Structure 1
Amino acid sequence: MSLPLPPELVREIIHLLLSSTPPRSSTPENLGCSTKPSWLTLNALSLTSRMYRDLALEAWFHTLCIESPEDLEFVRFCWPEVGARWTGHLHCIQTFSSYPSIWDLSCFLHLSSIRLDFSPIISPSFYSHLGNSFILPFFNFSSSVKHLDLRGLSWPSPGVLQNIPHTPGLEHLKTLKMKQDTVWCGLCGGSSRVRFKNRPTGVVYDRGYGLPIDYARVLTPLEYLEEVVITAPNRGFGSTTLGHTPTPDGNPTPYPDSETNLNPNLWAGECDNCMKTKYEDDAFRQKWVDRKRGIGVCRDGDGKKDTRPPKLRRVEWRF
């Protein structure tokens, strides 16, 4: 008679099954799509014994993907361990609705990361109800969340992000990810699509550089924030690139040493129109770049000093 496998080994087998099986969705990074594989991955193993089933459920519910607070109550009723022991990553999907869902997270005692998807089919009236207190629709945190992933915000303004540091439970945030259709331009103070003439795949900054100045300022209270990743598609058909600027005749001219410095302007969300028009004034361009580097007295027109999160080390833009 063979001896049963020890629980530690079964956990490793289950982890290997989940990590090596493709997600159920063919587009797991898209809005409303889960990164989890099908339950069939673990179903046969879960039927082997009660111990195996408990271990399979524990691993399965480590990531909880859910569409409404009502569904959350149902899951908690069926499996009380979901909040108390199992779930470390919560994936909330704001589905089609005129009003935002409000998520009570008091049951999650070991939550470390949250992904929040704003569905692209949400009705326009939904956003009219998004006051400052509803941008991040969570309350009653029972643990400190270290990682936050926001996807599908239609207006990713600094006013939206300023709610993050003031949401109890997010004070110890280490990584912030945002995936959206538009980016914030610090020059015109508006949200627009990325329209590079060429097709860069992304740009990475260290030493705390790379965020729009307004973003860096409102996120400053996050004293543990180390990394920000912003993903936005490059729609193309623009007249600017990371390493070039247009001249009055419309022909792009590289700045000195552009072959070795492909991003001399430290691009941080500036829209194609602002770069095309305002960067023609080289003195203005240099002053703006120096400000992003933190050279000299850096103040906005409102007299506020430019700041950034003290531990921010890495900023990545993905296109």
Structure 2
Amino acid sequence: MNELSHSARLPTELLRIIILHYLATVREEHGTIEVSKKSHKAPWCMVEPLTLTSRTCRRLALEGWFEVYFTHSPNDLLEAWPEFSTWTKELHCVEPGTDSQILPVMRWNLTLFHRLRKLRVDFEPSNPNAMLLLRFDYPRSIASQLQELELHDISWPSPMPLTVVAGAFHGLRVFKMSQDLIWCDLCNICRFATFKDHPPEQIVYEKIVGLPSHYTTLLKRLIHLQTVVLTIGYGLGGSECDACMDMMYSSKEYCEERITRKAVDRPPSLQSVIWRFRQRDPAEVVMDFEDEPELYVAHADGYTEEESDTGGMVATSSDD
């Protein structure tokens, strides 16, 4: 009887496949992947029964559930279980801070997460936060192994945060940004887009750049980058950029020169750029920082990229 019971057990490898498939299915059905500041993991109530069946199933269920680690605090990364270094592949952080808290507030320490392949950061859009990404590059050896970076609700999506991205996350293959405002490289300002009619849900550029020119110039340092996905909010009632479009694009020579420059500066491995659009009520869009771009220029002057003995970024004074 014992021999029969033992022989009827499923191999651990097959159990792992079954449990991971189950968790992926639950995640697709119950996840909130597009909702900012909410975890898109499978609900614990759908995982807990597996942890009560046997020791093997418990370990495999925990392993699968913690492939995505969701946290609101840098302290959680320091107190993580030792197993997380082999379990966690995606780190999903909610960062409620402001740019004034870059230092000496604690960094998000990635040291324990050796298998980390994706980092998602959800910022608070009502706070100036364009430079807070500086807190996520420690240690640099872990940050540079990330293959996918996803940023939600950067308050001022100018080229400046992309300078941090290109400097800290060298191994990126996929880069995603989702926020209400969009950078216009004609008038060099962040705007809330308004259209006369609803745009398509997404526009895909393949084998051509499709990025704002400053984005293209900065991201070309990412030699492995293959896909960029930009999700922006929009409203109806016209276009914020009619004036600069009429002025700049009336010149055929300017258009041709602009396209040629983008083709030269593009990231070498880039295959597709995807634009996605979500309708938003303009009354709910935070645009308080539109008239204060100097706030972010000040941060750029105050923080430069230098290698510390731990391999991360350190703050230096621009007056030194």
TM-score, normalised on structure 1? 0.76
Q: In the comparison of the two structures, how many residue pairs are matched?
A: 265
TM-score, normalised on structure 2? 0.75
Distance 1:149 1:17, change over 3 A: same
Structure 1 segment 61-76 matched on structure 2, within 5 A: 61-74=66-79, 76=80
2:83 to 81, 84, 100: 81
Task: Name the structure 1 match of 2:101.
Answer: 99
Paired residues of 2:78 and 2:109 also in contact (CA < 8 A): no
2:60 to 49, 55, 80: 55
Q: Is residue 269 of structure 2 the alignment partner of residue 311 of structure 1?
A: yes
Question: Which structure 2 segments of 5+ residues have no match?
Answer: 278-320
Deviations 1:184-233 (Å, cap 9, x if unpaired)? 11110011011121111221112241000011001111111111100002
RMSD across aligned C-alpha pairs, in angstroms?
2.5
CA distance in 2, matches of 1:233, 1:91: 22
Distance 1:22 1:52, change over 3 A: closer
Task: Name the structure 2 match of 1:220.
Answer: 220
Paired residues of 1:179 and 1:232 also in contact (CA < 8 A): yes
**One-letter amino acid matched to 1:160:** P
Task: Name the structure 2 match of 1:290.
Answer: 256
306-315 or 146-155: bigger deviation? 306-315
CA distance in 1, matches of 2:243, 2:264: 21
CA distance in 1, matches of 2:134, 2:195: 29
Structure 1 segment 118-157 matched on structure 2, within 5 A: 118-121=123-126, 123-124=127-128, 127=129, 131=131, 134-135=133-134, 137-143=136-142, 144-157=145-158
Tell me which protein shows more helix as a share of its residues: 2
1:21 is displaced (CA, Å) by 1.5
Question: Which structure 1 segments of 5+ residues have no match?
Answer: 240-270, 300-304
Give the secondary-structure state (helix, strand or coil) at the position aligned to 1:215: helix
Give the secondary-structure state (helix, strand or coil) at the position aligned to 1:12: helix
Distance 1:120 1:157, change over 3 A: closer
Give the secondary-structure state (helix, strand or coil) at the position aligned to 2:50: helix
Task: Name the structure 2 match of 1:38.
Answer: 43
Distance 1:47 1:153, change over 3 A: same
CA distance in 1, matches of 2:49, 2:32: 26
CA distance in 2, matches of 1:91, 1:288: 42
Paired residues of 2:31 and 2:39 also in contact (CA < 8 A): no
Give the secondary-structure state (helix, strand or coil) at the position aligned to 1:148: strand
Q: Is residue 220 of structure 2 the alignment partner of residue 278 of structure 1?
A: no
1:67 is displaced (CA, Å) by 1.0
- Over the matched positions of the two proteins, sequence identity in percent amounts to 34
Deviations 1:160-196 (Å, cap 9, x if unpaired)? 10111211xx211111000011111111001101112
Deviations 1:99-137 (Å, cap 9, x if unpaired)? 25521111111111111110235x45xx4xx65x85453
CA distance in 2, matches of 1:89, 1:291: 40
CA distance in 1, matches of 2:259, 2:207: 10
Give the secondary-structure state (helix, strand or coil) at the position aligned to 1:233: strand
Paired residues of 1:108 and 1:141 also in contact (CA < 8 A): no
1:42 is displaced (CA, Å) by 1.7
Task: Name the structure 1 match of 2:203.
Answer: 203
1:33 is displaced (CA, Å) by 1.0
